[in-house]
Amino acid sequence: MFNIGIDLGGTDIKTAIVDMDGNIVAKAQRPTLAQRPYNEVVKDMADSALEALAKTSYTLDDIKNIGIGIPGIADEKTGNVIFCTNLGWYDTPLSKEIQKYINKPVFINNDATVAGYAEYIAVVSKGTHSSVFITLGTGIGSGIIINGKPWSGFHGVGAELGHAPLNVINGVMCTCGNEGCLERYCSATALIRLAKETLQKDNNSIIFEKCKGNLEKINARMVVDAAKENDEIAVKIFDEYVFYLSKAILMVINIIDPEVIVLGGGVSKAGSFLVDAVNKKIPGFLLYKNSKYPEILIAKLGADAGVIGAAMLGKE
């Protein structure tokens, strides 16, 4: 048997046929065109999944479940999307709609939770007692896996680490309307903001060469690369970023204390350079100075995490 995994993004719909161990058998993809009525998007999700299935020698009889990762919040009980801001979906009956085309059980969860689940099923956090997955991208996504199951909270709105308050007084304004959310300090966007603010005051840095003097062109990789090259200003910017990220990780430790913490998304491409920097900071922040804390790992699945994790949602 196989499952259908669907990664519904603001830009693309990615689908895959995935075996019961989390291996992709076939894939398909098409643009989301998010401004359309939701039923047109859902029809394309189903068509794309059927297109992936047609690339295999299997039929719908070989498919057990459909799993969907969405950039928002879902109600696992009703199969409705509670909201997806960048798609403009509110209380959308996603399960019922897709079952018009493929009549199989449907499981829906948040995309970061799904990606974290994929790492648990297939790769870096496989077989762990508990793991927390944090994506350091344009924003911050997070997923909590406890005893082999994704944890999204009672109302489906848990595991939203990105909007936990990190700086409650005079914090940076967040897209969600609150001030000082963690993603304003720990995302790739935050690292770029820190770099811009610093270089506006002092541009004697190789970051200034890398962006050819145009601060709007700065990306997270330029800052990381310059810090690796020991550029004094870049080291300072990266250190400030790592300070915030370590405080975010401390929050996870103090509330959940998972076995492992997995970092994904753009900034995680810094790899061991980032992990080593975080591991230098964490011990000084711990409540019990000599206590063990979660191993910090880098995600391995990249772009396929969404479809794999979605496909595995109905595993239980």
Closest CB to Zn ion among residues 248, 313: 248
The reply on whether position 176 binds Zn ion by CB under 5 A is yes
Radius of gyration of the chain (CA): 20
Contact 242, 278 (CB under 8 A): yes
We find the least distance from the C-beta atom of residue 174 to Zn ion, in angstroms, to be 3
C-beta neighbour count of 291 within 10 angstroms: 10
C-alpha–C-alpha distance, residues 302 and 265, integer Å: 8
Q: Which stretch binds Zn ion (CB under 5 A): 87-95, 116-124, 180-188, 251-259?
A: 180-188
We find the least distance from the C-beta atom of residue 303 to Zn ion, in angstroms, to be 25
Q: Which stretch binds Zn ion (CB under 5 A): 27-35, 81-89, 176-184, 207-215?
A: 176-184
**Burial, 223: exposed, middle or buried (Cβ in 10 Å; 0-12, 13-18, 19+)?**
buried
Contact 141, 132 (CB under 8 A): no
We find the least distance from the C-beta atom of residue 185 to Zn ion, in angstroms, to be 11
We find the least distance from the C-beta atom of residue 84 to Zn ion, in angstroms, to be 16
Q: Which stretch binds Zn ion (CB under 5 A): 169-177, 200-208, 229-237, 302-310?
A: 169-177
We find the least distance from the C-beta atom of residue 208 to Zn ion, in angstroms, to be 30
Residues pairing with 72 in the sheet:
none
**Rounded to the nearest 5°, which phi and psi values hold at 83?**
-160, 150
Closest CB to Zn ion among residues 180, 306: 180
Q: Which stretch binds Zn ion (CB under 5 A): 54-62, 161-169, 298-306, 308-316?
A: 161-169
C-alpha–C-alpha distance, residues 212 and 156, integer Å: 45
Closest CB to Zn ion among residues 176, 215: 176
Tokens at residue 57, please?
A: 């020698």
We find the least distance from the C-beta atom of residue 171 to Zn ion, in angstroms, to be 10
The reply on whether position 163 binds Zn ion by CB under 5 A is yes
Closest CB to Zn ion among residues 163, 210: 163
We find the least distance from the C-beta atom of residue 248 to Zn ion, in angstroms, to be 13
The reply on whether position 172 binds Zn ion by CB under 5 A is no
Closest to 205 in 3D by CA, of 170, 175, 179, 236: 236
**Residue that is written with structure tokens 């980032």 in the block:** 274
DSSP annotation of 146? E
Among 123, 146, 164, 174, binds Zn ion (CB under 5 A): 174
Closest CB to Zn ion among residues 68, 188: 188
The reply on whether position 181 binds Zn ion by CB under 5 A is yes
The reply on whether position 140 binds Zn ion by CB under 5 A is no
Q: Which stretch binds Zn ion (CB under 5 A): 73-81, 105-113, 119-127, 166-174?
A: 166-174
Q: Which stretch binds Zn ion (CB under 5 A): 93-101, 159-167, 204-212, 252-260?
A: 159-167
**Burial, 221: exposed, middle or buried (Cβ in 10 Å; 0-12, 13-18, 19+)?**
middle
C-alpha–C-alpha distance, residues 103 and 170, integer Å: 51
DSSP annotation of 288? S
Tokens at residue 214, please?
A: 């145009």
**What binding mask, one character per residue, do residues 86-125 give for Zn ion by CB under 5 A, x or -?**
----------------------------------------
C-alpha–C-alpha distance, residues 23 and 32, integer Å: 24
Closest CB to Zn ion among residues 181, 311: 181
C-alpha–C-alpha distance, residues 314 and 66, integer Å: 8
**Which parts of this chain interact with Zn ion (CB under 5 A)?**
163, 174, 176, 178, 181
